[in-house]
Amino acid sequence: MGLKNGSSRVSLPTSRYRVPRSRQQIQKTFSNVKLTILCGFVTILVLRGTIGLGSITGSAPASEDQKVMEDIDRILREIRSDSEPEAEDSFTVLYHGNSNNHNWTYAEAVEAMNFSLGPKISDWDHQRQLSLTENPHFPNQVSGKPRILLLTGSPPNPCDNSLGDHYLLKSTKNKIDYCRLLGIEIIHSMASFDKDFTGYWVKLPIIRRLMLSHPEVEWIWWMDSDAIFTDMAFELPLEKYKDHNLIIHGYPNLLFEEHSWIALNDGIFLIRNCQWSFDLMDAWATMGPKGIVRDLAGKILTANLKGRPAFEADDQSALIYLLISQQDKWMDKVYIENSYYLHGFWSGLVDKYEEMMAKYHPGLGDDRWPFITHFVGCKPCGLYGDYPIERCLNSMERAFNFADNQILRLYGFAHEDLLNPKVKRVQGQTTDPLWVKEKHDMTAKIVID
Amino acid sequence: MGLKNGSSRVSLPTSRYRVPRSRQQIQKTFSNVKLTILCGFVTILVLRGTIGLGSITGSAPASEDQKVMEDIDRILREIRSDSEPEAEDSFTVLYHGNSNNHNWTYAEAVEAMNFSLGPKISDWDHQRQLSLTENPHFPNQVSGKPRILLLTGSPPNPCDNSLGDHYLLKSTKNKIDYCRLLGIEIIHSMASFDKDFTGYWVKLPIIRRLMLSHPEVEWIWWMDSDAIFTDMAFELPLEKYKDHNLIIHGYPNLLFEEHSWIALNDGIFLIRNCQWSFDLMDAWATMGPKGIVRDLAGKILTANLKGRPAFEADDQSALIYLLISQQDKWMDKVYIENSYYLHGFWSGLVDKYEEMMAKYHPGLGDDRWPFITHFVGCKPCGLYGDYPIERCLNSMERAFNFADNQILRLYGFAHEDLLNPKVKRVQGQTTDPLWVKEKHDMTAKIVID
């Protein structure tokens, strides 16, 4: 795919890692907005007074609707008001409060805070092997392939924009479809397991806990909720990874020559359930704890990684910095994948789906038929993406339907077009058993006309 | 459980089957509502003028928010305007247009319209057996148990209320969790496979198609999107059903003595992949085609089923009427289940969860720990439920968290309370493999304090 794609990513993480506003700020502006919008509409009401009056008279259904809408609005406000951020820890208060009295160094902060993902784990490979031997009825293989657990997540509260949850649902349906076809188990987490590892760091304590709880699982596959499987026939080349423990999309030259902060994308990666992974996550998590540690670590990352704006430490930058600074310690077990789109930046792909359908077929996974389309920078569940919200949502709808057509084809249907949620029949009806077709024809061309 | 619970259901289907408004009506009132609400707020604006003015000045973030919110609002309107209902068929136009010129009888209409779910299937058991024999690597059993496919569905477009999609997502996460633990595959359908079988009839053509496409599946398990697994340890007693083809929750005396239109609840049922099921669905579907057939069938159902209001034919009434009028033909293969909550009406259950946690444990499935809590009448994705929207949404949140605690316990966490999306640690951390606990302790008491 070369560097054209690589460089086309350069603008992304600025959005992905846009310094987040505090929840209160968002809520404050959020309620301001409501008033602002309403005031805007007052003019409209005056201009179209008659219509306005017509509807003010409040016919039974209208007033019923109004009550429901107002109830929902109030409930939303209540839910949001319940979700205030955790109280800040004492060091953070001290740091922000009197940062002039004492200039913490990162090392001091790390030592003082003494955070960790949990008790030190040192003998996992042996323990896990014992556990597997003792429980032969829960093998770490499924029909001859390593057992994979796909892990994704979304917030426990409703999205800030009313379409966000709809696309979270479609993204989850998309993952259900791929995982059903490939025999992969899914966990959709809505929980935060550690108050210190929040935001984009939330995945680390969850992955750690799942590795402990699922010794039968060989690979944990993290996938952001804004990533969509767009090649339902593509299978991970696991054989290729048998000597590696972390599989992540990226570009070695961006990593080791340019020290680019987007050399890797950790929105999607596979990590092996082994001692090495616990060690890596312990090292990786050092920069994660919310507050003084994450703030000071952010300065180190910005100072050392090309293109990184100034903001608190994020998981992706921290991983990149770790792998650059301790290359000898980790890299022999890290596989940097770019022969197919384990992470495919959406902007360069979503407009080419029709062309792909005309020329190619599922199962390729690369530019010709991307395995995963990742909506980095869109923040469909929030309000602050770096791309126009309409472009993002339309593109997600297209990606979802592009993938859904590969499922619907098995049943003789297809979306009328990639922006259309409705489906139409594309095959005559039949009375024969069809599953052989289903199991063996996933890479056939997709014809929707 | 007896008739107390049975009778407590009597109020439900009136809501579930409330005569639906046409999509246009809904959209029309919908836009009226917006204006109505806005006008309502004008008063507020005047009363709290200063605040209003303060926010009108439009600081950068506020105006940014406003743009996003307006974009989302516009996109929603566009999506909704795209989803107008299908054009009505000629007979329906004739029927509605000049119903006085010719009084169609139901029989005439059925014959004239000649609808069906698809080509007649007559030799399925033999064909399926052949197919299974030819594909021994796709057996109809999974680790010694019949293979089950759980089928649920939701609309392809965003919900009419902004919290609906959030609860659809939680309901889907809940199904993913139960099915992962029990080794059940899931299909979440957002498609309508037949323009004549719409609304609550949409499940029939999909089930039929899935039976054809998945001969390896022994049972198709339909579950409404407003039903939540609340007992993660309860396993279907399939051995009990080995001589039956349709498993549905209900009460024989309500069915055959009272001819009650809520004697059964078909929001959740299991149907075996066999010829008998194709025959049943062909007979069941006769009353389903949208328009004149469904309208006239509705009159027959209302005339014959106790308590049924006058409206077009619904799938549940049609099934009940079919089983009553052709008892000898079907009932020997129908298992009416009420020994546990295959369908548990939410209203009688959601307020007792704390009591259940204090007294009982998962795995019971009945009044003590309901297997499934079904939010009949809530219509979380719409605007027209028969219960206060706030009670519905709070109750769904409680049901989801009640179930989620049974999953989180495996990882040492629990919701702070049943209305709280946030979780807290309830177990000390560990470095031992935990899965044996996970696989064998699902019926332990749930302690969240």
Q: For A195-218, what is each residue's pLDDT tens digit?
A: 889 888 999 999 999 999 899 999
How far from chain centre, in Å, is Cα B92? 28
Q: What is the DSSP string of A396-449?
A: HHHHHHHHHHHHHGGGTEEESSTT---EEE-S----S--HHHHHH-TTS-----
CB B131 within 8 A of CB B167: no
pLDDT digits (tens, 9 = 90+) for B238-276: 999 999 999 999 999 999 999 999 999 999 999 999 999
Q: Report yes or no for ipTM above 0.95.
A: no
Q: Which of B33, B58, B83 sits opposite A36 (nearest CB)?
A: B58
Q: Which pLDDT belongs to residue A95?
A: 54
Best A26, A33, A135 residue to mutate vs chain B (most B CBs within 10 Å): A33
For residues A39 and B53, what is the distance between their CA atoms, to the nearest angstrom? 9
Partner B contacted by A190 (CB < 8 A) = yes
- What are the residues facing A425 on neighbouring strands? A413
From chain B, the residues in CB contact with A65 under 8 A are: 29-30, 32-33, 36, 383
The contacts of residue B254 (CB under 8 Å, 6+ apart) are: B3, B6, B260, B262, B263
**Residue whose tokens read 């990533």:** A227
Check whether B9 has a pLDDT greater than 60.
Answer: no
- Of A340, A222, A315, A225, nearest to A261 by C-alpha is A315
Q: Which pLDDT belongs to residue B225?
A: 96
The contacts of residue B223 (CB under 8 Å, 6+ apart) are: B150, B151, B152, B175, B267, B268, B372
Neighbours of A142 (CB within 10 A): 15
Summarize the confidence of residues B295-302 as an average pLDDT.
96
Between A27-36, A338-347, B131-140, B440-449, the lowest mean confidence (pLDDT) is in: A27-36
Best B39, B174, B175, B214 residue to mutate vs chain A (most A CBs within 10 Å): B39
Residue B86 host element (H or E): none
Partner A contacted by B19 (CB < 8 A) = no
Q: What share of chain A is helix, strand, coil (3-state, %, to 5)?
A: 50, 10, 40
- If one compares A87 and B207, the residue with the highest pLDDT of the two is B207
Partner A contacted by B94 (CB < 8 A) = no
From chain A residues 204-233, the ones with a CB under 8 A of any chain B CB are 209-210, 212-216
From chain B residues 140-159, the ones with a CB under 8 A of any chain A CB are 154, 156-159
For residues A436 and A447, what is the distance between their CA atoms, to the nearest angstrom? 19
Long-range contacts of B393-397 (CB under 8 A, 24+ apart): B393/A75, B393/B163, B393/B167, B394/B419, B395/B346, B395/B347, B395/B350, B396/B167, B396/B170, B396/B171, B396/B226, B396/B228, B396/B346, B397/B167, B397/B170, B397/B421
Distances (CA, A) of A306 to A162, A254, A257, A325, B374: 36, 9, 10, 14, 54
Q: Which amino acid is at B126?
A: H
For residues A296 and A294, what is the distance between their CA atoms, to the nearest angstrom? 6
User: Per the CB < 8 Å rule, is B76 touching A436?
Assistant: no
Q: What is the DSSP string of A330-395?
A: HGGGEEEE-SS-SSEEGGGTGGGHHHHHHH--TT-BSTTSBSEEE-TTT-TTSS--SS-HHHHHHH
**Tokens standing for residue A120:** 């030190």
**Tokens standing for residue A231:** 């090649």
Q: Which pLDDT belongs to residue A172?
A: 98
From first to last of its 449 residues, chain A has per-residue pLDDT tens of 333 333 333 333 333 444 344 444 444 444 444 544 444 444 344 334 333 333 333 344 556 677 777 777 777 777 666 554 554 444 555 555 545 557 888 988 888 888 888 899 999 999 999 989 988 888 888 888 999 999 999 999 999 888 999 999 999 999 999 999 999 999 999 998 888 898 889 999 999 999 998 999 999 999 999 999 999 999 999 999 999 999 999 999 999 999 999 999 999 999 999 999 999 999 999 999 999 999 999 999 999 999 999 999 999 999 999 999 999 999 999 999 999 999 999 998 999 999 999 999 999 999 999 999 999 999 889 887 889 999 999 999 999 999 999 999 888 899 999 999 999 988 777 667 665 445 557 888 888 77
User: Per the CB < 8 Å rule, is B76 touching A185?
Assistant: no
Q: To 10 degrees, what angle do helices A315-325 and A292-304 make?
A: 60
Q: Which amino acid is at B310?
A: A
For residues A10 and B214, what is the distance between their CA atoms, to the nearest angstrom? 45
Check whether B43 has a pLDDT greater than 50.
Answer: no
For residues A101 and A79, what is the distance between their CA atoms, to the nearest angstrom? 39
Partner B contacted by A76 (CB < 8 A) = yes
For residues A296 and A298, what is the distance between their CA atoms, to the nearest angstrom? 5
List the single residue in A with minimal CA-CA distance to B438: A213
For residues A123 and A136, what is the distance between their CA atoms, to the nearest angstrom? 21
User: Per the CB < 8 Å rule, is A35 touching B58?
Assistant: no
B271 DSSP assignment: E
Q: Which of B62, B191, B192 sits opposite A32 (nearest CB)?
A: B62
- If one compares A271 and B111, the residue with the highest pLDDT of the two is A271
Cα–Cα–Cα angle for B264, B189, B339, nearest 5°?
A: 25
Residue A272 C-alpha, separation from nearest chain B C-alpha, in angstroms: 15
